[in-house]
Amino acid sequence: MDLGLAGRKVLVTGGTKGIGRAIAELFVAEGAVVSICARNAAEVTQTVAGLGHGCFGQALDVADAQAVAGWVEASAKALGGIDIVVPNVSALAVQRDAAAWKAGFETDIMGTVSVVDAAMPWLEKSDAASIVIISSVSGREIDFASGPYGAFKAALIHYAQGLAFHNAGRGIRANSVSPGNTYFEGGVWHNVERNLPDLFAQAMALNPTGRMGKPEEMARAVVFLASPAASFITGTNLVVDGALTRGVQF
């Protein structure tokens, strides 16, 4: 299937590792040009070099709305516009103290809202504008991350569907993807495996497939939803979890 992504201009936050990097790499493989951001400048430079010609990146914290706006503007200039936005960064706030709630709100919620708001003038000019927000299965059922992480991931699904409804008439689609447990080197579950083996064993036991997902499996869902091939899909939340969750999604 031709996804129609050749020449499309894509923004991905948190694009240097894990799901974000897999998303950026798959967009490039499909012929798009990509701009990424992340907090570590060296990792941004290395990732952009690996993505190849025409790609762009900057180091920043998505909780800084002014920095996000500057990156979006610089990205639009470097890429020649913006067609697709993928807000991917999370504070991973699984604690339940005030600091975790604050970090989750500033990063997960406002980091997403800031990049969408800043990109909207360019999305309005695109003939295939699309927003895909990375949520989580923790946003649709109660699990060990049922504090700020789960609450804000649920809010992102609501936000994406609101964007879809309010922008449908302008040709701007919006969806969310909710990954299940995703394992990669240096990621959350890799660290849990090394440091909290009992928790890791409990988490593995919940996966009916006998394994966790891979970043590239999440990326495929995101890239399809973002692409012109999914031109009539908007306002949906796509769960990619290997049957981990048990709630029925009507």
pLDDT at 23 over 90: yes
- Lowest average pLDDT, out of 109-113, 136-140, 212-216, 226-230, goes to 136-140
Beta bridge partners of 59: 38
Catalytic annotation, pick one of 9, 75, 153, 227: 153
pLDDT in the model for residue 45: 98
Residue 59 within a domain = yes
Work out whether the CA dihedral 64, 67, 69, 75 comes out positive or negative: negative
Catalytic annotation, pick one of 9, 90, 130, 149: 149
Residue 82 within a domain = yes
pLDDT in the model for residue 187: 87
pTM of the predicted model as reported, rounded to 2 decimal places: 0.96
Say whether 136 is catalytic: yes
Rounded Cα distance between 134 and 130, Å, is: 13
Q: Which domain holds residue 68?
A: 9-184+216-240
Among 214, 215, 212, smallest CA distance to 20 is for 215
Residue 123 within a domain = yes
Residue 2 within a domain = no
pLDDT digits (tens, 9 = 90+) for 27-84: 999 999 999 999 999 999 999 999 999 999 999 999 999 999 999 999 999 999 999 9
CATH number of the domain bearing residue 179: 3.40.50.720
Catalytic annotation, pick one of 114, 136, 138, 176: 136
For tokens 């309010």, name the residue: 166
Return the DSSP state at 13: E
Give the total number of structural domains in the chain: 1
Residue 210 within a domain = no
Two tokens, residue 203: 């988490």
Say whether 159 is catalytic: no
Residue 206 within a domain = no
pLDDT digits (tens, 9 = 90+) for 84-140: 999 999 998 888 999 999 999 999 999 999 999 999 999 999 999 999 999 999 998
Per-residue confidence at 249, pLDDT binned at 50, 70, 90? confident
pLDDT in the model for residue 125: 98
pLDDT in the model for residue 54: 97
Residue 246 within a domain = no
- Lowest average pLDDT, out of 21-30, 37-46, 186-195, goes to 186-195
pLDDT at 145 over 80: no
% of the chain residues with pLDDT over 70: 100
Residue 202 within a domain = no
pLDDT in the model for residue 144: 77
pLDDT in the model for residue 221: 98
Catalytic annotation, pick one of 130, 135, 138, 176: 135
Two tokens, residue 235: 């306002």
Residue 238: strand, helix, or coil: strand
**Span 12-19, average pLDDT:** 98
Cα→Cα distances 30→97, 114, 152, 220, 227, Å: 42, 27, 31, 11, 10
User: Mean pLDDT for the chain?
Assistant: 96
